[in-house]
């Protein structure tokens, strides 16, 4: 463990633990990325994965939104697909197309191609980037580490690219259930180790992105995603009981109650989920979310009105404000600022005594 300067803004950590905060903490999924001109400038000279693999560049990009906006957390610049890469799969980031795996897993035999990586060496560049960012932050805000959920990573590894339906990945669950479980188990083992080491390198919070959870029906989710998500949180918490752990299972409306019964401290909501209904299902858990990113395309007064509505729906406690999914490359940074500032302004006045 390193010796890092103390945190000056621990709002997110306190909200994650269910403690009162003077205002609602806020960050944005995909807060570093193509909507920022300074990101596009840096990316003009380097490939996406080159940026991820170069700690100084990854650190610089992580800090870009922090320098610009009054955010309450930084999230390490990386990608969920660095884990399949470390397992020996080639992943290309094609312009306008998103991720492509030239040789996806087609049948159970293909699992033999996968390596069990030594996480500390194969993903050492992520840990180095986390340590560099944590130093550069000098305690300004907490640093979030992350990984993909086992099912979401399997979906990309089998499908070979992003897809609306991930039909091949879903059919694997029914054609080759044993091989699917074997792959999910193996991913979970690697991810647990990966998340634990991210904290040792400097992350103070971690988030698991199960972005494609919503493609599964309730039974499939309960069989192929939830047990692995649960185990991931359990193993993480055994190692780092003090570090909050967030789960974002996009689209999994039916799973909110089951997720609340795991060791995740915070349940992320996408914008199609109703905060009031979610509160009833998740008891005392802190919730994160969930403004529709499309709202950021509207005029400032609309953004502010929607932020107010969101804050009222969640209430002043046990809430970490965020979007219901990531920033879009066409978003205007000025509108991101309106979102962040409105969260702080309204959440502070909502707490003020009459």
- What positions carry a catalytic annotation? 30, 34, 43, 79, 156
Nearer to ligand CP3, 98 or 102 (CB): 98
| Number of Cβ within a 10 Å radius of residue 14 | 16
Residue least distant from ligand CP3 (Cβ): 211
Q: What is the DSSP letter of 327?
A: P
Q: Which helix (H) or strand (E) holds 75?
A: strand 74-75
Nearer to ligand CP3, 149 or 275 (CB): 149
C-alpha distances in angstroms, 301 versus 35, 43, 307? 21, 32, 10
Nearer to ligand CP3, 125 or 305 (CB): 125
314 binds ligand CP3 (CB under 6 A): no
Q: Which of 35, 69, 77, 151 binds ligand CP3 (CB under 6 A)?
A: 77
Number of helical H runs and strand E runs in the chain: 16, 9
CB proximity list for 215: less than 8 A, separation 6 or greater: 155, 165, 166, 169, 170, 251
80 binds ligand CP3 (CB under 6 A): yes
Q: Given the rule CB under 6 A, which of 28-36, 108-116, 174-182, 191-199 is the region that contacts ligand CP3?
A: 28-36
Query: In 3-state terms, the chain is what percent helix, strand and coil (to 5)?
Result: 55, 10, 35
Nearer to ligand CP3, 31 or 290 (CB): 31
* Maximum C-alpha span of the chain: 66
273 binds ligand CP3 (CB under 6 A): no
33 binds ligand CP3 (CB under 6 A): yes
Closest contact distance (angstroms) between CB of 351 and ligand CP3 is 28
Binding site for ligand CP3 (CB under 6 A): 29-34, 43, 48, 75, 77, 79-81, 93, 98-99, 146, 162, 209, 211, 326
């Amino acid at each position: 463990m390193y010796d890092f300067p103390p945190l000056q803004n621990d709002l997110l950590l306190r909200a994650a633990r269910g403690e009162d905060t003077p205002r609602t903490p806020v960050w944005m999924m995909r807060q570093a990325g193509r909507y920022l001109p300074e990101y596009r400038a840096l990316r003009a000279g380097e490939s996406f994965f080159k940026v991820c693999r170069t700690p100084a560049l990854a650190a610089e990009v992580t800090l870009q939104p922090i320098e610009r906006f009054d955010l309450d957390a930084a999230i390490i610049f990386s990608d969920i697909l660095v884990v399949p890469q470390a397992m020996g799969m080639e992943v290309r980031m094609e312009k306008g197309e998103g991720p492509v795996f030239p040789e996806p897993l087609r049948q159970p035999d293909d699992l033999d191609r996968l390596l069990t990586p030594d996480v500390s060496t194969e993903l050492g560049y992520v840990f180095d980037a986390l340590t560099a960012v944590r130093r550069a932050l000098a305690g300004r805000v907490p640093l979030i580490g992350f990984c993909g959920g086992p099912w979401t990573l399997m979906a990309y590894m089998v499908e070979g690219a992003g897809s609306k339906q991930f039909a091949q990945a879903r059919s694997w669950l029914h054609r080759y259930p044993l091989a699917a479980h074997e792959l999910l188990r193996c991913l979970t083992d690697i991810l647990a180790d990966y998340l634990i080491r991210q904290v040792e390198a400097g992350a103070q919070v971690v988030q698991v992105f199960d972005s494609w959870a919503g493609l599964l029906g309730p039974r499939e989710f309960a069989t192929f995603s939830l047990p692995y998500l649960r185990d991931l949180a359990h193993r993480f918490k055994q190692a780092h009981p003090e570090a909050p752990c967030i789960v974002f299972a996009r689209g999994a409306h039916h799973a909110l109650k089951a997720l609340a019964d795991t060791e995740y401290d915070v349940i992320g909501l996408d914008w199609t989920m109703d905060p009031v209904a979610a509160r009833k299902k998740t008891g005392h858990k802190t919730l994160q979310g969930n403004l529709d990113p499309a709202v950021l395309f509207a005029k400032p007064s609309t953004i502010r009105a929607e932020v107010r509505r969101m804050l009222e729906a969640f209430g002043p406690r046990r809430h970490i404000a965020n979007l219901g999914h990531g920033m879009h490359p066409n978003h205007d940074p000025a509108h991101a600022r309106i979102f962040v500032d409105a969260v702080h302004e309204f959440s502070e006045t909502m707490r003020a005594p009459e």
